[in-house]
Amino acid sequence: MSRGTAVVVGGGIGGLAAAIGLRRIGWDVTVLERAPAFEDVGAGISMHANGVRALDALGVGEAVRAAVRPLYTGGTRAPDGRLLARMDGAALERRLGTPVVGVLRADLHRVLREALPTGCVRTGEEVTGLDGLPDADLVVAADGVQSRLRAELFPRHPGAVYSGTTVLRAVTERPPLGPIDDLALTWGPGAEFGHLVFVDGRVEWHAVLDVPPGVRHPDSLAEMRRRFGGWHDPVPALLDATRPEDVLHHDIHELRTPLPAFTVGRVALLGDAAHAMTPNLGQGASQALEDAVVLAARLAGAPTVTEALRRYDAERRRRTQSVARAARQAGRMGHGLTHPLATALRDTALWLAPSELTLRAALRHADWAPPRLR
Ligand code: FAD
Q: Where are the alpha helices (DSSP H) in the chain?
A: 13-24, 49-57, 61-65, 89-96, 105-114, 148-153, 220-228, 235-240, 272-275, 284-301, 305-333, 340-352, 355-366
Specify whether the CB–CB gap between 366 and 50 falls below 8 A: yes
Closest CA to 27 of 114, 160, 136, 112: 136
Question: Residue 1: what pLDDT?
Answer: 66
| The model scores a pTM over 0.95 | yes
| Percentage of residues in the chain having pLDDT higher than 90 | 91
Question: Residue 360: what pLDDT?
Answer: 85
| Nearest protein CA to atom 47 of ligand 1, as residue | 285
Domain that holds residue 48: 5-71+100-160+255-332
Domain membership flag for residue 111: yes
313 lines ligand 1 (CB under 6 A): no
Nearest atom (ligand 1) to Cα of 248? 34
Specify whether the CB–CB gap between 163 and 221 falls below 8 A: no
14 lines ligand 1 (CB under 6 A): yes
Domain membership flag for residue 52: yes
Domain membership flag for residue 126: yes
Domain membership flag for residue 189: no
Number of domains in the chain: 1
102 lines ligand 1 (CB under 6 A): no
Domain membership flag for residue 15: yes
Angle made by CA atoms 262, 13, 66, in degrees to the nearest 5? 140
User: 240-284: per-residue pLDDT in tens?
Assistant: 999 999 999 999 999 999 999 999 999 999 999 999 999 999 999
149 lines ligand 1 (CB under 6 A): no
Query: Separation of 150 CA from ligand 1 center, angstroms?
Result: 15
Query: Separation of 11 CA from ligand 1 center, angstroms?
Result: 9
Domain membership flag for residue 323: yes
Domain membership flag for residue 228: no
| Nearest protein CA to atom 35 of ligand 1, as residue | 279
285 lines ligand 1 (CB under 6 A): yes
Nearest atom (ligand 1) to Cα of 13? 51
Closest CA to 115 of 200, 225, 29: 29
| Nearest protein CA to atom 15 of ligand 1, as residue | 143
Question: Residue 216: what pLDDT?
Answer: 95
Domain membership flag for residue 116: yes
Query: Separation of 344 CA from ligand 1 center, angstroms?
Result: 35
Q: What CATH number is associated with residue 312?
A: 3.50.50.60
Average pLDDT, the chain: 95
